[in-house]
Amino acid sequence: MLQQLADTLSLKGVLDGLKPFGWSHVDHWAQGEFHHDVVVRVSTLPAELPGPVLVISTNCNGGVKEILCLAEVPDRWGLWHQRCPDNPEFAGPAPSILGTARTLHWFDPCDLLGPGTRSEFRAEFRRRQRGGGYVCIDSAAE
C-alpha cells in the first residue's frame, strides 16, 4: 500500500488515497526551497501499513519523492541526521522507520543542502537555513 500511495506521485494523490482511513495533519517541515516533509497520522490503520505516521517528502511542486512510515512522529532534526549523517548541523534521536517507498522523483536530499545550492531567491532576500538550503529572509520557517 505504501508504494501504491507513493506511486500516485502527488501529495494530493497520497492524501486522497488515505481518505477511507481518515488522516490528520501533524506538521510540515521545509528544508530549503525544494524539499518538504508533510507529516500525517492515519486515523484507522489499514493492515497494509506498518504504522500510523507517514512522512510524505515532496518537491516544491508537491511531487512525492518518498514516504516513510513510522509508529510515532519523528524528531525533525533526528530524521535529517539519519538522512545526512555527515552534516554536523543535524542532530537528534534517529527515527525507527517501519516502511519506505520511493518514486522516480527521489534523489539524495543531502545534495540540496551543500554550499552553493541553487536558489530561486536572490542573495539579498535569502538566508541559509540550519543544515543547508535557503529560506526567504522574511520567513520564520526553520
Cell 500500500 found at = 1
pLDDT in tens, 3-44: 999 999 999 999 999 999 999 999 999 998 889 999 999 999
- Give which of 33, 40, 43, 34 is closest to 12, Cα–Cα: 40
Position 74 scores a pLDDT of 98
Position 139 scores a pLDDT of 54
Q: How far is Cα 39 from Cα 68, in angstroms, rounded to an integer?
A: 9
Q: How far is Cα 67 from Cα 74, in angstroms, rounded to an integer?
A: 13
The pLDDT mean for the chain works out to 92
Whether 97 has a pLDDT exceeding 80, the answer reads: yes
Least confident piece of the model among 26-40, 61-75, 81-95, 116-130: 116-130
Whether 142 has a pLDDT exceeding 80, the answer reads: no
Q: How far is Cα 62 from Cα 68, in angstroms, rounded to an integer?
A: 16
* pTM of the predicted model as reported, rounded to 2 decimal places: 0.91
